[in-house]
Structure 1
């Protein structure tokens, strides 16, 4: 029988919580999984390594996008399948793969679904599954992480976004596949593996996590009026037509900024930097998805 591991963020919960996850696995015949709970997602890679040393062949990750990102960083290239039980605020990666926020359904997919081989991105030495960004989005995430996200959920991002609109743009140079692609004012730079944002909005309309490419987008929107126009375009699925947005696809990206700005990956704040180097790692991770995918 497949050796199963569970790596869980103890501070996240859906349904009946981790006790329901245990009982659901037991009813499915998984009576003695390698079980590990962490207080914060940053401890997940070490626990994933322990699970692999214990012979895990299928790793269930319980938590949000940050927990999944930390686990993907450890699992990429290891030949072990990832199953996701979405228990976070946004769950963008799970949602993009059709994995519902239901313990019973997620476990069933994890045990009986189809394996799908997906790309991951790698930026400044750390892998991500969904999206990395510098500027507006990272500042918004950093502020939401200061206790608001736990209390307000997705509403925390709306609140912090309204505050972050006052930040001044920076100057950026972006090289794509070794050649200059963009030089000028920027308020946000995104590198995406999938296209989805909160509430079903698509930052990258044609993104696929298995095409061997990353999406690159830069916006020069400045102030409430220009951002409102940009968001409106995104809501109707025509972000690329915004006068404040440029997009392309790439295998590798180099970003140089004129000052240090906040950056993030998969919803996790990472501090400030002036330089970002990103590349795609094609087919680096195997994820258990619904059979219909």
Structure 2
């Protein structure tokens, strides 16, 4: 039997963790050599994955939210061990971006009958980045949304916090250095650097498609709209970004600029908070680099 390690985060999302675990165990146990390990305050998903690789795991399952997925992926990057995902978080952005099933039973089917495919990874100041990093509005939104609110309201918790942040957010200036080109921006509200992003990650949708399979980072810059009501102006720009994702078109809005690049260094004045794959990670300046074809992911057959 294939040796499979299940990295199970018991505090992810708002579901019934013991019930979820039993569903997973019941569907997999007769088909693979299943090693179930739990994350805890003193045992991260990354630490468990490192142990699993060392002990010869042939597949590692991340059963949790995007934070769990990111930690597992960071240790499997540039290895031959694939990652499967059983989404149990609030946003489940990684699964949404790759059209992976969010239903536990269907996700287990992918574990058993799916095929591994390579996707890109990226780094942010040397830390692995599975999805995206946000500077400005997104960072402030994540920082001010607590776990209890996320568990109660799900993705809507982020939307409510974002609207509240818009009313008090201060703009900043930014400089981007992509190696072969540089750019300066004034009155910036948000910068998003994405390796992979679903359409619901609105602030990442400036480019045509955030595929995670082109060896490039997708950078979206949102500046203060020229409107009487800044909040309405930002909502208008956000709507355009959402429409661009649905229609697979590059966003066309005067407050939105986008570009693709394999590397980028971002400096801001004043320094801004940074959120990386849903976790707060200090402040700018920050350097990003794409890592093409670096992670095997179990995909539907």
Distance 2:51 2:35 in 1: 9
Q: Which of 227, 241, 253 pairs up with 1:234? A: 241
Q: Deviations over 1:6-65 (max 9, x none)?
A: 1111112657311111111114x12x4222111369811111101111111100100111
Distance 1:267 1:197, change over 3 A: farther
Q: Which residue of 2 aligns with 1:282?
A: 292
Distance 1:146 1:87, change over 3 A: closer
**1:155 shift after superposition:** 1.6
Q: Which of 17, 20, 27 pairs up with 2:23? A: 20
Q: Which residue of 1 aligns with 2:162?
A: 161
Q: Please report the TM-score for the alignment, with normalisation by the length of structure 1.
A: 0.91
User: How many residues matched?
Assistant: 288
Q: Which of 252, 258, 268 pairs up with 2:263? A: 252
Q: Which of 174, 186, 200 pairs up with 1:172? A: 174
Q: Please report the TM-score for the alignment, with normalisation by the length of structure 2.
A: 0.89
Distance 1:40 1:90, change over 3 A: farther
Q: Which residue of 2 aligns with 1:225?
A: 232
**1:88 shift after superposition:** 0.7
Which blocks of at least 5 consecutive residues in structure 1 are unaligned?
none
Distance 2:8 2:78 in 1: 21
2:79 pairs with 1:78: yes
Distance 1:60 1:123 in 2: 24
Q: Which residue of 2 aligns with 1:123?
A: 124
Residue correspondence of structure 1 range 55-134 to structure 2 within 5 A: 55-134=56-135
Distance 2:22 2:108 in 1: 13
Counterpart of 1:260 in 2: which secondary structure?
coil
Distance 1:6 1:274 in 2: 35
Work out whether residues 93 and 197 of structure 2, in 8 Å CA contact, stay in contact via their aligned partners in 1.
Answer: no
Q: Which residue of 2 aligns with 1:265?
A: 276
What is the root-mean-square deviation in Å for CA atoms of aligned residues? 2.1
Distance 1:173 1:118, change over 3 A: same
Q: Deviations over 1:82-134 (max 9, x none)?
A: 00001111111111212111111111112211211000111111112211111
Distance 2:152 2:98 in 1: 27
Distance 1:159 1:65 in 2: 20
Which blocks of at least 5 consecutive residues in structure 2 are unaligned?
none
Distance 1:256 1:241, change over 3 A: same
